[in-house]
Chain A
Amino acid sequence: MKQTEVVHKQDATGKSTAVAASTRKGSKWRKNIVLDMMLLPALILTFIFSYIPMAGLVMAFQNFKPALGMTGSEWVGLEHFEFLFSIPENVQVIWNTVIIAGLKMVANLVVPFIFALLLNEIRRAMFKKVVQTIVYMPHFLSWVLVGGILIDLLAQNGGLVNQTLTAVFGIKPIFFLGDGDWFRFVVVVSDVWKEFGFNTIVFLAALAGVNPALYEAAEVDGAGRWQQTWSITIPSMLPITIVVGTLALGNILNGGFDQIFNLYNALVFDKGDIIDTFVYRYGIIGGKFSFSTAVGLFKSIVSFVLIVAAYRMAYKLANYRIF
């Protein structure tokens, strides 16, 4: 129906307009070619380093032998995936990841939220700036450096933390990095230590966007600071909190490779090994290419579904779009 209409119009208006339209379209195409050229380097690099490895995922369905290559290796179907779910140790790795990532997710939402509320109450601009500069800083240090510092601080014999604990509470030194439960605790707390300041930024931005007239009106009505916080500040932070929370959901299979890899050791593999570290040890170091690719593919698919769902939810709940 639509198409016939278009054709009909062109016929009616005659040849000259049709030609003009096509040259206009042509020049627009040419004008935009500059824009395409600008994108070219990024397009090529992304193709090579992101899309070509995706083709390598077929390995997950093969018994990949480096000598035979992807075309020569034997096909085994879903064997590696079955293996992943048939061995208790493998399932444990998935659980570890979900537990560690889940704890981090909650902590990294609650702590920055409260911290932003408290920081917002500071009136002295200079003091506020100094605090902000200090708490953002750990975000910029790598997990190698933070890991090095933590290993030193948490040492069982003579680390500063154990020294302090013994001196203040008189408890025996804790083997922080050698005991599974303590290891998880350290992972979550150190992640919060490193990131809470930086995560505060987005909440502070939301707070800065609250209309001051609301507070003025509330004050005229006789509301105290606590009442103002409860009925103006917190509701206005809700949308961004929902966004941050839902987007974090997509990362439930990301326990944080950099951090775990730099803190763990064989003593805590049972409770501290996450999918990414497992893939590295098995796949790259252990040479089990196909199996670890299958694990990686499993993780990618679950994450993909979760992230897409999270974006949709964030869009629905808080009308949020990233681009």
Chain B
Amino acid sequence: MYHKSKAYQTFNVFNIVFMIVISLICIIPLVHILAVSFSGKAAASANLVKLWPVDFTWDAYVKTMANENFLRSIWVTVQRTVLGTVIGMLIVIFAAYPLSKENSSFKRRNIYIWYFVFTMLFSGGLVPFYILIRNLELLNTMWVLILPGAVSVWNMILLLNFFRGIPKEMEEASLIDGAGHLRTLISVYLPISTPALATLSLFTLVGHWNSWFDGLLFMTDYEKYPLASYLQTVIVQQDFSKVSVRPEDLENISQRTVKAAQIFIGMAPILLVYPFLQRFFVKGIVLGAVKE
């Protein structure tokens, strides 16, 4: 009934306009960066570029792709993202399954839960962590980018809550048919958990792709910098001393259009992957996070 009232119709029009404005606010900064990256050097430094490239050119991308340090850092990031996502997901899956059991059938569950949750609440802090990594001789290795963050307690909780939503009868049937826990997990739980697994994989993958601080902190050798750490140094800190030695490189790296191109390349994989996984993650998070 109210759908037809004049007031509601007016509100609806305003609401739609408002949503469009909000959406624009969310993407305009990205469009601007994209426009700068495709603009001519002179137009960009004269601040003539708004939302559309001026003097369209691929120049910035050509220079970026000719930059060895940049390419090397992409390779480091690709390696850590693939390896880190696989290892991280395996650990989370294998931990979430036992933790999703009832207290009555797996008594030690409560102790384990608190063992993990405590680390979310309390930590040793940055300095002791750094000293540990140094003592383990993990500085400048790929493992320092993967192992410390491999156990994501948050992801574990999301997945265990998802597992709990799976009907008990399926597990019982599987155990009666003679399958062990491992078999049950692989053949029963995992196939029906696709939305949750897709969601958590997306989170883990994006986390690795975006992670910059560990690279900055633990890689004294800049050749081992992941992409995000490289971008942090060059674009945000503007500290070129760490990544570039030749003066002719310096000019290329500090140019505004080149920086814009690097930012855009840095987010391109996320912009590509995210829309395909987005339909899963709303379902995955909601089922994991909100309970009756």
* A115 nearest CB neighbor, chain B only: B22
**Pair A134/B27 contact, Cβ less than 8 Å:** yes
Q: Which of A4-12, A86-94, A178-186, A297-305 contacts B (4 or more CB under 8 A)?
A: A297-305
Which of B25, B106, B115, B124 touches A35 (beta carbons < 8 Å)?
B106
Which of B132, B160, B271 touches A56 (beta carbons < 8 Å)?
B132
Which of A54, A131, A149 touches B263 (beta carbons < 8 Å)?
A149
Interface residues in A, total, Cβ within 8 A? 94
**Pair A145/B266 contact, Cβ less than 8 Å:** yes
- In the bound complex, CA of A123 to CA of B140 (Å): 53
Closest A-B pairs by Cβ, 6 of them: A56-B128, A53-B124, A296-B125, A158-B47, A142-B210, A35-B98
Query: What are 8 A-B contacts with C-beta separation under 8 Å?
Result: A41-B94, A48-B132, A49-B147, A121-B15, A144-B235, A292-B126, A297-B125, A300-B123
Q: Contacts of B115 on A, CB cut-off 8 Å? A: 43, 46
Q: Which of B28-36, B52-60, B62-70, B243-251 contacts A (4 or more CB under 8 A)?
A: B28-36
**Pair A284/B26 contact, Cβ less than 8 Å:** no
Q: Contacts of A240 on B, CB cut-off 8 Å? A: 290
| A residues at B contact (CB < 8 Å) | 31-32, 34-36, 38-39, 41-43, 45-46, 48-57, 59, 66, 115, 118-119, 121-123, 127, 130-138, 140-142, 144-145, 147-153, 157-160, 163, 193, 197, 201-202, 205-206, 208-209, 219, 222, 224-225, 228, 240, 257-258, 261-262, 276, 279-280, 283-284, 289, 292-293, 296-297, 299-300, 303-304, 307-308, 321-323
- In the bound complex, CA of A276 to CA of B182 (Å): 42
Task: Report the tally of A-B residue pairs with Cβ distances under 8 A.
Answer: 252
Q: Contacts of A122 on B, CB cut-off 8 Å? A: 15-16, 19
* B14 nearest CB neighbor, chain A only: A118
**Pair B124/A323 contact, Cβ less than 8 Å:** no
* A291 nearest CB neighbor, chain B only: B127
- In the bound complex, CA of A315 to CA of B228 (Å): 39
Which of A34, A50, A134, A284 touches B181 (beta carbons < 8 Å)?
A34
- In the bound complex, CA of A150 to CA of B124 (Å): 32
For the complex with contacts A55-B128, A141-B270, 5 further pairs of A-B residues with Cβ separation under 8 Å are A42-B92, A56-B129, A141-B267, A158-B46, A292-B125
* B184 nearest CB neighbor, chain A only: A34
- In the bound complex, CA of A122 to CA of B11 (Å): 11
**Pair A141/B210 contact, Cβ less than 8 Å:** yes
